[in-house]
Amino acid sequence: MKSVVLCYNLQGTAKGKKIKMIFGFLGFKVHVVEKEQYLWPVGALTGLAEPEKEPDIYEGEGFPEEMLVIQAASEDMLDKAIFLMRKEKVQIGLKAVVTPSNQEWTSIMLHDEIQREHEIMKQREEERKR
């Protein structure tokens, strides 16, 4: 399996350049996902699977948040990537790893699920502070 990182809403930013540097250094293929590709399965975007049919072109507004979807060849590769992101102080709020469960999901579906989980974690953290 190849190591690939899908980047959303990072093009032309300093953070995007750092992401390309970090993941490129580790041998990951860096794929900037265009909004038109948001209906493609993430497994197809990473090269993990071929779509069963030609994916539709997304014509909606998309989402404004930065997001990374990571397919690492090994746990060690993933750990190194996360370590270097922390070392370089690159924070991306929405991150996911490609799994057998989510590889057929579209970018929109994955974004919405990560966003929902992120909100739940934030609520729990606020409740603990009370």
E strands, the chain, where? 4-8, 29-32, 67-71, 94-97
Count the Cβ atoms, other than its own, within 10 Å of residue 73.
14
Beta bridge partners, 18, equal none
Q: Which residues, 6+ apart, have CB-to-CB distance to 73 below 8 Å? A: 1, 2, 3
What are the tens digits of pLDDT across the range 75-127? 999 999 999 999 999 999 999 999 999 999 999 999 999 999 989 998 998 88
pTM for the full predicted model: 0.92
- Mean pLDDT value across residues 13-41: 97
By the 8 A CB rule, do 84 and 25 touch? Answer: yes
